[in-house]
Amino acid sequence: MIIILNPGATEAQLGELTADLEARGYGIHLSKGVERTIVGVIGTPERDKEDLIAQFESLSYVERVIPILKPYKLVDRAFKPEGTVLNVRGVEIGGRRLCVMAGPCTVESPEMLFETARFVKEQGAHILRGGAFKPSTSPYSFHGMGEAGLKLLAEAREMTGMPIITEVMDTRDVELVCRYTDILQVGTRNMTNFSLLREIGDTRVPVMLKRGWASKIEEWLQAAEYIASRGNYQIILCERGIRTFETYTRNTFDLNAIPAIKELSHLPVIADPAHGTGKWSLVNAVARGAVAAGADGVMIEVHPSPEKALKDGSQSLKFEVFAQMMRELAPIAGAVGRSL
């Protein structure tokens, strides 16, 4: 941590600051420039920097406090330079083979779920997705089938052999959802629901953590650190677009985040081009781009008839568009030394 003093800071104030730092047990490295005095603070526990920085920034003679270390440790690339590969019922995530998660946004009925599950399996998908508990901006919208939906997902797993992934939104539901699912999903709206992250951190069930729509990459990794800090290391990250000023698309898919995550963390990263665009007609192009940039897989919403979908119809792929995406992804996977 580095503390930059105001140009007008006095010697007395500097003395007060260094005394405080020493009383807290830190080492000090002082650098007096022509225009600014800089105090290097040695031995600061940077992982809880947030609060410490705020303390020193509250001093009237301090101009700025700059953290040096990253505010996460367990999910840092340095912690596991070779990268994490998860194995979920035989399906690898983060390995050489891309992982395609596909299925309906929401479990609506046995028929539509089974039909979709069978189709995506045939086309080469590896994991079945489907929502039983669904967040909705409006209180009057459909909120999912709940446990009945989880049971249908489990049935579809039996039927197709595909592991399943589904969202959990409430700390009270974690145990229930874990009874059925192979991978828990934390949605964008809950990335900063720290109670939920802790609860999931206490399970040993793999989890896919979606990026908050207005969360920085560093904050996203801190959210992952929440889970890891409780002992659950089976974490998958999912880039799903961020909120910007652009209105033609629902979100702005942050392609930069794919290689950035690869630099910063050892965790696998999946792309969600459906939420990342909000428009089915853009999904395939963005899926190709994400894989070419190094994503470990894609999560895709598929629906037999999107115009009847209870949720997210505008970004769900029809069967034939999904099939086309799979055909297009294969050569891209090959071009980056992977397979589908």
Which are the contacts of 93, defined by CB distance < 8 A and separation ≥ 6? 85, 86, 87, 99, 236, 268, 270, 296, 297
- The reply on whether position 139 binds a copy of itself by CB under 8 A is yes
Told to check if 123 binds a copy of itself by CB under 8 A, we report: no
219 sits near a copy of itself (criterion: CB under 8 A): yes
Least distance to a copy of itself from the beta carbon of 117, Å? 20
90 binds a copy of itself (CB under 8 A): no
Q: How many residues bind a copy of itself (CB under 8 A)?
A: 118
∠ Cα 91 101 311 (to 5°) = 150
Using DSSP's 3-state secondary structure scheme, residue 286 falls into helix
Question: Judged by CB under 8 A, does residue 327 bind a copy of itself?
Answer: no
**147 lines the binding site for a copy of itself (CB under 8 A):** no
Binding of a copy of itself by 231 (CB under 8 A) = no
Interface with a copy of itself (CB under 8 A), residue from 56, 79, 180, 319: 56
- Torsions phi, psi for 309 (to 5 deg): -60, 135
**CA angle centred on 336, ends 185 and 124, rounded to 5°:** 50
Per CB under 8 A, 57 contacts a copy of itself? yes
- The piece of 83-91, 114-122, 135-143, 178-186 that touches a copy of itself (CB under 8 A) is 135-143
The C-alpha R_g of the chain, in whole angstroms, comes to: 23
Binding a copy of itself (rule: CB under 8 A), the pick from 193, 203, 234, 265 is 193
Least distance from a copy of itself to the Cβ atom of residue 208, Å: 18
**3-state SS assignment for residue 311:** coil
Based on CB atoms, which residue is closest to a copy of itself, 36 or 89?
36
Cβ pair 206, 243 in contact under 8 A: no
> What is the helix (H) or strand (E) element at residue 29, kind and residue range?
strand 27-32
Residue 157 or 262: the one with the smaller Cβ distance to a copy of itself is: 262
CB of 84 to a copy of itself, least distance (A): 18
Instruction: Please report how close the Cβ of residue 318 comes to a copy of itself at its closest, in angstroms.
Output: 8
Residue 83 lies near a copy of itself (rule: CB under 8 A): no
Q: Which of 12, 33, 90, 158 lies at the binding interface for a copy of itself (CB under 8 A)? A: 33
Contact status, residue 293 vs residue 260, Cβ threshold 8 Å: no
The interface with a copy of itself within residues 275-304 (CB under 8 A) comprises 276-277, 279-282, 285-286, 288-294
Is 58 buried (19+), middle (13-18) or exposed (0-12) by CB count in 10 A? exposed
Question: Per rule CB under 8 A, is residue 258 in the interface with a copy of itself?
Answer: yes
| Euclidean distance between CA atoms 184 and 171, whole angstroms | 12
CA distance 314 to 251: 13
